[in-house]
């Protein structure tokens, strides 16, 4: 048997005010759309704002359904919308924020596994990294320089 070690690295910002101006604005838009999420079952609201290389910003919030598998996470709502409306644009940055209606989220909330796989598809397609910033309702914000940093063993078209 052989062991391998994989390391990842994140930048940590203590608060929104510590973010660069462009990311602060992107995260503020993610917070605003988070508040419009349709989350009557989980009471867990997520908002995402995506900055494209054409300067456009695409927003998404989680959309739940009584038939749970039919809902979609905010990250996938935004990324699929970006892919549909601006198919040739590259995704530069994503800002993600999550909050619960029942308790305060103060630790950074990363994308779920399904969202990581969907983001990976676009990062591979465009052949450039996507910066991902994520936070809870308040507190620190983590920055990942790419999706590969969050999902080092990603599944892609090369396995098919």
Domain presence at residue 39: yes
Domain presence at residue 18: yes
**Nearest CA-CA partner of 155 in 127, 128, 116:** 116
| pLDDT one-digit tens code per residue, 39-76 | 999 999 999 999 999 999 999 999 999 998 899 999 99
In sequence order, the 6+-apart residues with CB closer than 8 A to the CB of 152 are 6, 8
Tell me: is residue 66 an annotated ligand-binding position.
yes
Tell me: is residue 74 an annotated ligand-binding position.
no
| Per-residue tokens: 55 | 């300067």
Tell me: is residue 115 an annotated ligand-binding position.
yes
In sequence order, the 6+-apart residues with CB closer than 8 A to the CB of 40 are 64
Residue 50 domain boundaries: 10-140
Cα angle, residue 90 at apex, residues 84 and 93 outer, rounded to 5° = 105
**Active-site residue set:** 75
How far apart (Å, rounded) are the C-alpha atoms in residues 30 and 24?
A: 10
State how many domains the chain has.
1
Domain presence at residue 130: yes
Domain presence at residue 159: no
Query: Residue 32: its pLDDT value, please?
Result: 98
Domain presence at residue 4: no
**Nearest CA-CA partner of 15 in 5, 28, 6:** 28
Q: What is the CATH number of the domain that holds 41?
A: 3.40.140.10
Domain presence at residue 17: yes
Tell me: is residue 149 an annotated ligand-binding position.
no
Mean pLDDT value of segment 144-148 = 96
Range with lowest mean pLDDT among 69-73, 77-81, 97-101: 69-73
Domain presence at residue 153: no
Q: pTM to 2 decimals?
A: 0.95
């Amino acid at each position: 048997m052989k062991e391998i070690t994989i390391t990842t690295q994140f930048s940590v910002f203590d608060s929104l005010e510590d973010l660069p101006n462009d990311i602060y604005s992107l995260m503020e838009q993610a917070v605003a759309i988070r508040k419009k999420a349709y989350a009557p079952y989980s009471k867990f609201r997520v908002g995402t704002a995506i900055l494209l290389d054409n300067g456009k910003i695409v927003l998404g919030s989680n959309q739940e359904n009584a038939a749970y598998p039919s809902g979609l996470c905010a990250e996938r709502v935004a990324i699929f919308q970006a892919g549909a409306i601006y198919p040739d644009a590259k995704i530069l940055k994503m800002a993600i924020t999550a909050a619960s209606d029942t308790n305060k989220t103060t630790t950074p909330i990363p994308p779920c596994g399904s969202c990581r796989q969907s983001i990976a598809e676009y990062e591979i397609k465009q052949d450039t990294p996507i910066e991902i910033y994520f936070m809870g309702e308040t507190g620190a914000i983590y920055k990942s320089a790419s999706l590969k940093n969050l999902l080092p063993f990603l599944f892609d078209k090369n396995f098919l």
